[in-house]
Structure 1
Amino acid sequence: MTLQFSLASASPEAVETACVVVGVYEGGVLTSAAARIDSAAEGAIKRQVESGDITGKGGSAAVLFAPAGVTARRVLVIGLGQQKAFDAARFQRVHADAARALGRLPVDSAVSYLSEIDVPGRDAAWRLRSAVLATDHASYRYTATFKPREKSTQPELASVAFAGGADLQAGLDQGVAIAEGVRFARELANLPPNICNPAYIAEQAQAFAAEHADTVSCRVLDHQEMEKLGFGSLLAVGRGSTNRPKLVALEYTGGAEGDKPYAFVGKGITFDSGGISLKPGAGMEEMKFDMGGAAGVLGGFVAAVKLGVKLNLVCVVPAAENMPDGDSYRPSDVLTSLSGLTIEVLNTDAEGRLILCDALTWTVQTYQPQAIVDAATLTGACVIALGKHATGLMSKHDDLAAELLAAGEATLDRAWRLPLWDDYQTQLESGFADVANIGGKSAGAITAGCFLSRFTEGQRWAHLDIAGTAWDEGRKGLATGRPVPLLAQWLLDRSEK
C-alpha cells in the first residue's frame, strides 16, 4: 500500500485522527507538541516519564490510548534521544521509528508533529521533505512475489499528515515526488531475475513514458540494432544468456527546446553470475541487485518527472544478463567497443564497465549532454573502501563533484570522493588491446572509474559506485533506492538556478 501524505494545521491536542505522534527527549524533555498534549491530558505524558514507561531514548515508542482532554484516539510518543545530539540524521531515524511503530498499530491514519522539531542548519521545507522520505521508506513492504494475503480485518496505515500550513506544500510535494522515485527503484531492484530481465526493464520504461506522454518518450534498442551500430562490448557481456540485451533511453523535456539535456546512465545487469569467471555460490542470490544502478537512475528520472524540474533529461540503461554458456565471452577475448577502443577481457566478472562504456559512448554521440552522471553497483572494492554508508564518487570535474556531494549532504544520501588521477591509468595497460577491463587488486574502485573515464573524454562526467549502498545485506535485505534522493536533489538544484 502506498502511503498518502498531507498537511495538518490543527493543534496536536485538538486534531481529529486515529493517532497523533509527538516526541520526548531523554531526560523527560517534551517537544512543544508533546507539552501541549500533556497539558490537555492533565500530565499524562509526564506521569509516564516519571514512572519510566517513557524514557525518551532513541528507538523507543510508547502509546497512550484515548487520553482525556485529547481528541485523537491514541498518542504515540517517540523517543528522540539526547537533545544536544539531535541532528539531521537523528531526525531522519526518528521518522523511520515512528513509521515502524505506526505500522504495528491498528490505525489507518496519523498526524505527526515530529516534523516541527528544530534541526540545526535545516529549514522547515527540508524537515517536511525528509519526514516524508523517511516515513515512506520505513513503511515500504515488498509483496510482489508473495502469495496474496487475505484482507486483514484490522486497519492498516494508509495516510500520514504532518504539521504545517499551506506555505509548506511545496516541501511536501517534493518529498512525495522523490519518494515515488525511490519506491520505483526499490521495487524494480527487489524483483527476482526471472521477472526483472532486460526486456522487463524496457517494458517498465515504456509504460512510464506512456503514462507521461506529454513530456516523456522512450527508445529501446534490441541486440540486432545494437549489433548494426557496433555495441561490441555491451553485446559480448549478454552473449551467454537467452535474455537478450536491451538499451533503454528515456527522454524528458522539461526545459527549453534546444537546451542540451542532463544525462543519467545506469548499469543494468539483471543477474550477474560472473560469467566464465564464475562467482562463488555463497551470496550469489544478491546478484539480482546488480541492476541497482539502472534502478537508481530510472528512479531518479521518475522523481524528476514528478518534480517537474525545469530542464531536459535523458536516462540511458544498458540492460543485460551475465551468464556462463557455450557462447559466453571469455577471459583473453578482445572486444571492440562502440567508441572504437579495443578491450582485453581479463575477467568476465568485471562486466558492468563493459556495458557502461558503450552506453556512455552512445549517450554522448546521441545527445551531447551538458553533464553525465552514471550509477553502478560496480566494484566490491568500493564496499571495502567505504562500507555500506557512502557511495563512491569519482570525477575529473571539481565543480560537478562538489554539486553531487552537496546534494548527497542535503538528502543524507551521502557520497565520498575518490581520486581519479591519471597515475592509476597504467594499471589498465594491455599488451593485446587499447585497454584491459581490470587493473589488478589495488585501487579496484578507482581503476574501474579510470576505465570509464576513457570513454567520457572531454565530457562533464561523474561516476557513482553504489555497490555498498544499493541494497541491505542478508537474506532479507532489500534495495535501498539509493542514489535516487541524491540525483533528484542535484537536478532540483540545477533546475532552480
Structure 2
Amino acid sequence: MKNIQALAGLLAKFFAISLLFVSSVSFANIDVRFVDSMDDSKNTLVLVVNEPGALTGYSKTLNESTEQNFSALLSLNNFTGKFGEVQTLQLIGGFEHVVVVGTQNDLPLTAPELQNLGGKIAATLSSKNKDIEAIILTDNLNAELDDAAAQIAFGYHLRHYSFDKYKASKADGKSSLTFVVNNVSLNQNAYENDLRFLAEGVHFTRDLASEPGMSLYPQAFVERVKEKFKGIDNINIDVLDVRDMEKNNMGALLGVGKGSIHDPRLLVIEYTGAKKGEAPIALAGKGITFDTGGISLKGNDNMWQMKSDMSGAAAVAGTLYAIAQRGEKVNVVGLMPLAENMPAEDAIRPGDVLNTMQGTTIEIMSTDAEGRLILSDAVYYAQQKYKPKMLLNIATLTGSAARALSDEYAALITRDFAFSQQIMQIGEKSGELVWPLPLHPNHFEQIKSDIADIKNSGAGNPGASIGAAVIATFVDEDLPWVHLDIAGVDWLSADIDVAPKGSQGWGVRFMDELVRQNKP
C-alpha cells in the first residue's frame, strides 16, 4: 500500500577594539571581524599556544602582566600545548574567560588542521542559547598560510550548527568573533568572499540530509533548492519530471520511484562561471529521499537514518551553492536524481528488468540496490547533454564501503590507481579523506546477467566495487571519472571538530576543492 504524503544568554558586553583597519561580516548568527590591534577589554580571550614553557607574543605579554600567574595556571592544570588541547581559565589578566588552545605541531599547520582548531574553539565557547563575544589571537600559530585566521573562522562556522527546526526550544545563541591579525585585508577577503559561502553550503547540505522523509520528498527537495539559489548569478535550474524521463527512456530512475506516491525528479543545476561552451565539471549525487529498501525491505534497525540517503544529492547542491556564491571562474553542472524507494503494488520487484537511457538493460536482483540505478541514468544524461571534461558521482551507496573504511575515509573508486592517488590529495587538502578501493575487470564480469545486459547486485563480496562497476557501465571509459561512496562518513554518531553529530555534510569541501583544482 502506498505511503500517503504527510505535511510537513548570558550576554557579554561588547568589547572595544583600537585598530587601524576593521572588517566584518554577519550571517547565521555569527559576526566575524578581522582587526590589526586590540586593547585590554574585559571579555573572552582565545589564545593559541605552541609551547607553554616558552610563551611568545601576546601570551608572553599576558604572562608578564599577571606576574607569571598565567603560566602557573597552565602548569597547575597540566596543560601541555599538544595540538587540540583546550584549557579555560577564569578572571585573569582583566578577561572574564581565557581559552587557551594548544597548537603544538612539528610541521606548519594545514588548512584542515586550522579548521579543526576553529571547530574546537566553537565547541568550547558555544552554547545553544548563550551569546559569545571573543577576541581570538593567532600570533603564536605555526602556519605558513597567510589566511590562517580565516581558516580558523571557517572551522568555527562549520561547527556552529544546530538542526532544531522541529524542537520547541530553538537555538538562538550568537557568536561575535574578533581576530587580531597582521594581514587584515587578506583574511577578510578569504573569509567574506569565499570560505563563508563554503560553510553555508555545508550547512545547507546538513539541513537537507536532516529533514524527515515525510517533508523532503523529490519535489520538496527541488523546491528547497530553487529557493536557496534564488537571485544567484549564472545559475540555470532545470527539472525533469516523469514525462521528461519517459521521453529520455530513463527506465532505471523511473523504476526506483514507481512504488512511491511522490514522483521522481531529475534536478539539474548549471553554473556558468567560465566561457560559454567551456566543458563543465559534472557532479552527480544520489538523491533517495527515503529508502525503505522497496520490495527487498530493510530491517527496522536504524531505518530512520534512511532519510539521509539523499546526502550525495544534498552535497552536490551545497557545493554548487558555494561555487556560485563566490563566483568561481568555472563551469559546473550538478545532477541530482531524486526518488523515494517504497514498497507498493506497482513497485519494481527482484527479477524485473529495467531499460536505461543508454539502452543497457538491468536485471533487478535487489530493490535495495537502488542508488546505482538512479545514478546510471543521471551520469549517462550528463555525458549526452553536457559533454563534461570530468565526472564525479557521490552516493551513500553500500554498507560494504562503510565496513571496509569505517568513518575515517570515504571509498574512492576510479579506473586507474594513478588517478586515485591524485584524488586522494584533494581529500587531504580539503579535510575530507578518501581511500581507494579496486575496480577490476572481473567486477564487470560479475554483474553480467543471464536474462539482461547486467544485474544490479548479488555478485559476491566486493559490494562497494560491484556498485561502482554498475555505474561505470554508463560512463565513457575515456572520461576522467571519480566514484565516491560516502555510506560510512555521511552521518556522525558523535561530534567531530568541525561538525556536531548527525549529518556532517560530507562531500561539499571535497568537491569544492576538486573544482578549484580543475578550473580552466
Distance 1:270 1:168 in 2: 38
> Root-mean-square deviation (CA), in Å?
2.5
Question: Does the 8 Å contact 1:404/1:486 carry over to 2?
Answer: no
The residue number in structure 2 matching 1:412 is 431
The answer to whether residue 466 in structure 2 is matched with residue 466 in structure 1 is no
Identify the range of structure 1 (303-312 vs 398-407) with the bigger mean alpha-carbon deviation. Answer: 398-407
Deviation, structure 1 residue 6: 3.0
The answer to whether residue 56 in structure 2 is matched with residue 62 in structure 1 is no
The answer to whether residue 310 in structure 2 is matched with residue 291 in structure 1 is yes
Query: Quick one: which of 236, 243, 268 aligns to 1:224?
Result: 243
Distance 2:189 2:408 in 1: 29
Deviations 1:437-467, CA, capped at 9 Å, x for gaps: 0153311101111111110123222111111
Within a 5 Å distance, the mapping from 1:22-171 to structure 2 comes to 22-25=47-50, 28-30=53-55, 32-52=57-77, 54=79, 56=81, 58-65=84-91, 67-68=93-94, 73-80=96-103, 83-84=105-106, 88=110, 91-104=114-127, 106-114=130-138, 117-119=141-143, 122-125=144-147, 127-149=148-170, 156-164=173-181, 165-171=184-190
The aligned amino acid for 2:277 is: G
Deviation, structure 1 residue 134: 1.9
Indicate how the Cα distance of structure 1 residues 15 and 434 shifts in structure 2: closer, same or farther if over 3 A, else same.
farther
Question: Does the 8 Å contact 2:50/2:141 carry over to 1?
Answer: no
The aligned amino acid for 2:198 is: I
Q: Which structure shows the higher helix fraction?
A: 1
The aligned amino acid for 2:146 is: A
For 1:124, what is the secondary structure of its paired residue? coil
The answer to whether residue 228 in structure 2 is matched with residue 208 in structure 1 is yes
Indicate how the Cα distance of structure 1 residues 190 and 181 shifts in structure 2: closer, same or farther if over 3 A, else same.
same
Question: Does the 8 Å contact 2:293/2:368 carry over to 1?
Answer: yes
Indicate how the Cα distance of structure 1 residues 492 and 162 shifts in structure 2: closer, same or farther if over 3 A, else same.
farther
Distance 1:166 1:440 in 2: 56
The residue number in structure 1 matching 2:215 is 195
Say how many residue pairs are matched. Answer: 482
Distance 1:27 1:38 in 2: 11
Indicate how the Cα distance of structure 1 residues 314 and 331 shifts in structure 2: closer, same or farther if over 3 A, else same.
same
Indicate how the Cα distance of structure 1 residues 202 and 450 shifts in structure 2: closer, same or farther if over 3 A, else same.
same
> Mind listing any 5+ residue stretches in structure 1 that lack a counterpart?
none
Identify the range of structure 1 (43-52 vs 142-151) with the bigger mean alpha-carbon deviation. Answer: 142-151
Distance 1:478 1:17 in 2: 36
Indicate how the Cα distance of structure 1 residues 399 and 177 shifts in structure 2: closer, same or farther if over 3 A, else same.
farther
For 1:264, what is the secondary structure of its paired residue? strand
Question: Does the 8 Å contact 1:19/1:107 carry over to 2?
Answer: no
Question: Does the 8 Å contact 2:107/2:142 carry over to 1?
Answer: no
Distance 2:61 2:435 in 1: 42
The residue number in structure 2 matching 1:7 is 34
Distance 1:487 1:99 in 2: 24
The residue number in structure 2 matching 1:356 is 375
Deviations 1:335-374, CA, capped at 9 Å, x for gaps: 0011110000001100000000001111111111111111
Question: Does the 8 Å contact 1:17/1:110 carry over to 2?
Answer: no
The residue number in structure 1 matching 2:322 is 303
Indicate how the Cα distance of structure 1 residues 221 and 463 shifts in structure 2: closer, same or farther if over 3 A, else same.
same
Question: Does the 8 Å contact 1:397/1:461 carry over to 2?
Answer: no
Distance 1:15 1:304 in 2: 39
The residue number in structure 1 matching 2:471 is 452
Indicate how the Cα distance of structure 1 residues 238 and 166 shifts in structure 2: closer, same or farther if over 3 A, else same.
same
Deviations 1:309-343, CA, capped at 9 Å, x for gaps: 10111111000010111111110000001111000
Deviation, structure 1 residue 289: 1.1
Indicate how the Cα distance of structure 1 residues 395 and 224 shifts in structure 2: closer, same or farther if over 3 A, else same.
same
The residue number in structure 1 matching 2:25 is none
The answer to whether residue 43 in structure 2 is matched with residue 18 in structure 1 is yes
Deviations 1:174-196, CA, capped at 9 Å, x for gaps: 32121111111111111111111
The residue number in structure 1 matching 2:196 is 176
Deviation, structure 1 residue 34: 2.2
The aligned amino acid for 2:160 is: S
Indicate how the Cα distance of structure 1 residues 90 and 250 shifts in structure 2: closer, same or farther if over 3 A, else same.
closer
Indicate how the Cα distance of structure 1 residues 443 and 31 shifts in structure 2: closer, same or farther if over 3 A, else same.
farther
For 1:210, what is the secondary structure of its paired residue? coil
Indicate how the Cα distance of structure 1 residues 484 and 334 shifts in structure 2: closer, same or farther if over 3 A, else same.
same
Distance 2:334 2:113 in 1: 33
The aligned amino acid for 1:139 is: H
Normalised to the residue count of structure 1, the TM-score between the two structures is: 0.90
Distance 1:84 1:133 in 2: 23
Indicate how the Cα distance of structure 1 residues 399 and 303 shifts in structure 2: closer, same or farther if over 3 A, else same.
farther
Question: Does the 8 Å contact 2:88/2:97 carry over to 1?
Answer: no
Deviation, structure 1 residue 271: 0.7
Indicate how the Cα distance of structure 1 residues 115 and 342 shifts in structure 2: closer, same or farther if over 3 A, else same.
farther
Question: Does the 8 Å contact 2:86/2:99 carry over to 1?
Answer: no
Identify the range of structure 1 (390-399 vs 191-200) with the bigger mean alpha-carbon deviation. Answer: 390-399
Normalised to the residue count of structure 2, the TM-score between the two structures is: 0.86
Deviation, structure 1 residue 21: 0.5
Deviation, structure 1 residue 53: 6.9
The aligned amino acid for 1:161 is: T
The aligned amino acid for 2:467 is: A
Within a 5 Å distance, the mapping from 1:324-363 to structure 2 comes to 324-363=343-382
Indicate how the Cα distance of structure 1 residues 284 and 17 shifts in structure 2: closer, same or farther if over 3 A, else same.
farther
Identify the range of structure 1 (473-482 vs 434-443) with the bigger mean alpha-carbon deviation. Answer: 473-482
Indicate how the Cα distance of structure 1 residues 63 and 208 shifts in structure 2: closer, same or farther if over 3 A, else same.
same
Question: Does the 8 Å contact 1:67/1:74 carry over to 2?
Answer: no
Identify the range of structure 1 (261-270 vs 438-447) with the bigger mean alpha-carbon deviation. Answer: 438-447
